């Protein structure tokens, strides 16, 4: 199985650039699309000055920032494990290492309360020595030995990375090893001396949205110019063509390519001596691992092959030998979800498959095992007994053994880490994060709201059990609503400390567009059907008001990326339902989104202005296009980052400029580092959290004592 050491995963991908020549004549703020132009940055500096004064000058800010930073940098956090070469690795940030260190300890040492860590890579020291602000973006391991890795380093947080070969056993970059210049790129180890590499190879090798579609084999010691073609996608592709490796504990290993024809539709290829051969797999499916020569396929559409009908949202297995020989595939169904279930994670161990899934937005886990008579005779499933009303995630697993780690977290339950032996899955708690806020008196309730079409939309609300049901409780709500990404219970320590401890409430809405209930929940809001997503969100708020758990004057909302688009739409469509709206790293100009950053890759989700019906819908919902003079909007807080080469800061800038033109009050802040996730270092994240919470306090609570 391909293994990555990573800090975060992203739902949206990359691309950035200056305004295109066909900029519309009726858009006075297209100049703000110039990504880092001097005139634009002067504008940003002036806006930041005003917002910094408004929020960081608030007497609450320093306390909020100190609390957020203490939580983010606490040394008693759980060091999440990565099982590599018989060791436990971890990427760690704290106050002494704000950019982070890669370190390891023994498996036995990790089980103790105070492991002895050995640092192999210090990003703070490396940044100081090399004059860059290196941000960790994961690493690709060379299997099966797992002693070498390609470290992915981002300068300031961009998605574009430099690839550098690193020796994990010595803790040094390999002298004369692979060192691939910065680009938006995808890589896999074909063998110890050969990389499969997708990147910008020059003119005609990148899609409109800035993805590489040409994969080449690069030999050790060769310049990029000597790399030989393996496969070429097309400039019209929406996502990159990405190489990857699957291997298992039985010694099976194979190289594959995913060609991102559309955002949700792939062509999958097997790389062999005869080149890249297309596989007869459904477009909406992903290869997610391999056990005992059985390749795991996760589906997002119904698939019939060899007389077997695999439902949408399922996990199935097909023999690697069948993929290699070209014979008809006869999939075995390992897991078929009910309408209220969805797969959340899949990992292969040496002889088993660990499956994490959601059941009515509550985490579950099971172990799937090929029968002793051989995988062709079927699989058995064993449930893993873990705490309820929480999210269960697979923290680490390896094809070199059956030991694995699962993390469990709930709104009021700090994250715990559990070890299991997949051969006998009886979980044992090995780590527990201390509580970061006082949860005494708090309760978590799950309700359902009826949307505009009658569909029941679940949501969680965290609040004091004794609140007065008179609408007076300050409440903030978030959602995402896109790209089949679910929002599930989690331990939001900073929100708990800065918001819940003060008697306020917090809501997560499980609206359509996400993946809470699998592909159908997502597809219900695609393209011109998207208004139902926005109706769902408003319906949840109205249900909360009907229960008198809050009221519009005391209600705030926030979301980022696609969730930022959600916030922009709700700001326009229902200004009367909220008194605070935080719009984070957002898409907002849906007329030009295809020409900004990676926008062209998302037409599967949003539609395209090149299609008349879809253009009409985008014009109807585009937040930038639908701001109106004379409307009593709540004062919004819009924040983004200059280094965001994924969505891009252009949307947020233009939206703020239009508000200013219309005389509508707003706050705008653009951090100059951190990329799309604002993760350049722990101080940046704490600062952004504190500023946002000051904003909500100013809008929804009483003024602070002075």
Query: How far is residue 456 from each of residues 61, 159, 238, 264, 535, measured CA to CA in Å?
Result: 39, 37, 33, 26, 12
Give kind and range of the element (H or E) at residue 396. Answer: strand 391-397
Q: Which two tokens stand for residue 288?
A: 């997610």
Nearest one of 579, 639, 591 to 615, comparing CA atoms: 591
Burial of 234: CB neighbours in 10 Å, binned 0-12, 13-18, 19+: exposed
550 and 469 Cβ atoms separated by less than 8 Å: no
Is residue 676 part of the annotated active site? The answer reads: yes
Six token digits for residue 373: 């008579």
List the catalytic residue out of 396, 561, 601, 697. Answer: 561
CA 102, CA 111: separation in Å to the nearest integer?
18
Q: How far apart are CA 579 and CA 626, in angstroms?
A: 19
Within 10 angstroms of residue 399's Cβ, the number of other Cβ atoms is: 26
Query: In terms of Cα–Cα distance, which of 248, 293, 296 is closest to 397?
Result: 248
Pick the catalytic residue from 247, 676, 677, 697: 676
The structure tokens listed for 632 are 């009593």
The CA-CA-CA angle for residues 191, 194, 195, to 5°, reads 100
DSSP codes of every residue in 429-455: EEEEPPPSS--TTEEEEEEEEE-TTS-
Assess contact for 137 and 155: CB atoms under 8 A. no
Contacts of 495 (CB under 8 A, 6+ apart): 476, 506
User: Can you list the alpha helix ranges (DSSP code H) found in 57-167?
Assistant: 61-73, 107-110, 123-130
Q: Locate 646 and state its tokens.
A: 């994924």
The DSSP symbol for 17 reads -
Q: Is 574 a catalytic residue?
A: no
**Residues carrying an active site annotation:** 561, 676
């Amino acid at each position: 199985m391909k293994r990555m050491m990573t800090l975060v995963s992203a739902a949206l991908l990359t691309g950035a650039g200056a305004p295109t020549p066909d900029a519309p004549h009726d858009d006075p703020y297209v100049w703000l699309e110039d990504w880092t132009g001097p005139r634009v940055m002067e504008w940003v500096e002036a806006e930041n000055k005003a917002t910094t004064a408004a929020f960081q000058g608030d007497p609450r800010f320093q306390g909020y920032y100190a609390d957020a930073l203490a939580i983010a940098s606490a040394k008693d956090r759980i060091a999440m494990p990565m099982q590599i070469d018989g060791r436990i690795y971890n990427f760690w940030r704290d106050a002494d290492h704000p950019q982070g260190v890669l370190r390891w300890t023994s498996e036995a040492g990790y089980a103790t309360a105070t492991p002895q860590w050995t640092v192999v890579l210090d990003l703070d020291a490396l940044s100081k020595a090399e004059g860059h602000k290196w941000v960790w973006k994961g690493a690709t391991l060379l299997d099966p030995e797992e002693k070498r890795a390609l470290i992915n380093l981002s300068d300031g947080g961009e998605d574009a990375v430099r690839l550098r070969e690193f020796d994990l056993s010595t803790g040094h970059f390999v002298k004369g090893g692979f060192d691939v210049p910065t680009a938006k790129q995808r890589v896999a180890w074909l063998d110890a001396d050969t990389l499969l590499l997708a990147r910008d190879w020059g003119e005609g090798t990148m899609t409109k949205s800035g993805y590489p579609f040409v994969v080449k084999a690069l030999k050790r010691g060769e310049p990029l110019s000597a790399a030989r073609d393996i496969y070429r996608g097309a400039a019209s592709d929406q996502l990159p063509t990405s190489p990857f490796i699957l291997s298992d504990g039985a010694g099976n290993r194979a190289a594959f390519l995913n060609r991102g024809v559309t955002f949700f539709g792939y062509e999958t290829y097997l790389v062999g001596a005869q080149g890249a051969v297309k596989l007869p797999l459904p477009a909406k499916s992903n290869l997610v691992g391999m056990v005992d020569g059985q390749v795991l396929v996760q589906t997002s559409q119904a698939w019939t092959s060899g007389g077997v009908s695999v439902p949408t949202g399922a996990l199935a297995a097909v023999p690697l030998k069948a993929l290699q020989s070209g014979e008809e595939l006869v999939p075995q169904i390992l897991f078929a979800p009910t309408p209220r279930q969805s797969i959340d994670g899949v990992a292969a161990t040496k002889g088993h498959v660990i499956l994490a899934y959601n059941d009515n937005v509550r985490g579950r886990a099971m172990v799937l095992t090929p029968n002793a008579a051989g995988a062709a005779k079927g699989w058995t499933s064993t449930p893993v007994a873990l705490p309820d009303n929480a999210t269960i995630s697979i923290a680490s697993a390896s094809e070199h053994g059956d030991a694995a780690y699962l993390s469990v977290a709930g709104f009021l339950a700090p994250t715990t880490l559990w070890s299991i032996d997949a051969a006998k899955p009886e979980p044992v708690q090995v780590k527990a994060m201390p509580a970061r806020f006082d949860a005494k008196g708090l309760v978590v309730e799950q309700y359902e709201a009826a949307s505009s079409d009658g569909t029941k939309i679940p949501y969680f609300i965290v609040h004091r059990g004794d609140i007065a049901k008179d609408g007076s409780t300050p409440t903030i709500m978030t959602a995402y609503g896109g790209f089949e990404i679910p929002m599930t219970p989690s331990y939001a320590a900073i929100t708990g400390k800065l918001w819940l401890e003060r008697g306020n409430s917090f809501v997560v809405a499980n609206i359509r567009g996400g993946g809470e209930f699998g592909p159908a929940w997502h597809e219900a809001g695609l393209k011109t059907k998207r208004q139902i997503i926005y109706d769902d969100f408003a319906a949840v708020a109205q249900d909360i008001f009907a229960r008198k758990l809050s009221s519009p004057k005391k209600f705030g909302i926030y979301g980022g990326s696609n969730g930022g688009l959600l916030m922009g739409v709700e700001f326009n469509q229902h200004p009367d339902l909220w008194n605070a709206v935080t719009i984070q790293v957002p898409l907002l100009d849906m007329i030009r989104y295809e020409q900004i950053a990676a926008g062209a890759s998302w037409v599967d989700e949003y539609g395209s202005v090149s299609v008349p019906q879809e253009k009409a819908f985008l014009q109807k919902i585009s937040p930038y296009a639908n701001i109106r003079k004379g409307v009593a909007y709540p004062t919004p807080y819009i924040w983004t980052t200059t280094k965001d080469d994924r969505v891009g800061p252009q949307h947020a800038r233009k939206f703020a400029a239009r508000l200013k033109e219309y005389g509508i009050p707003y706050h705008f802040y653009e951090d100059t580092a951190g990329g799309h996730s604002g993760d350049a270092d722990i101080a940046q994240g704490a600062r952004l959290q504190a500023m946002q919470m000051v904003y909500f306090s100013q809008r929804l609570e009483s003024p602070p004592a002075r």
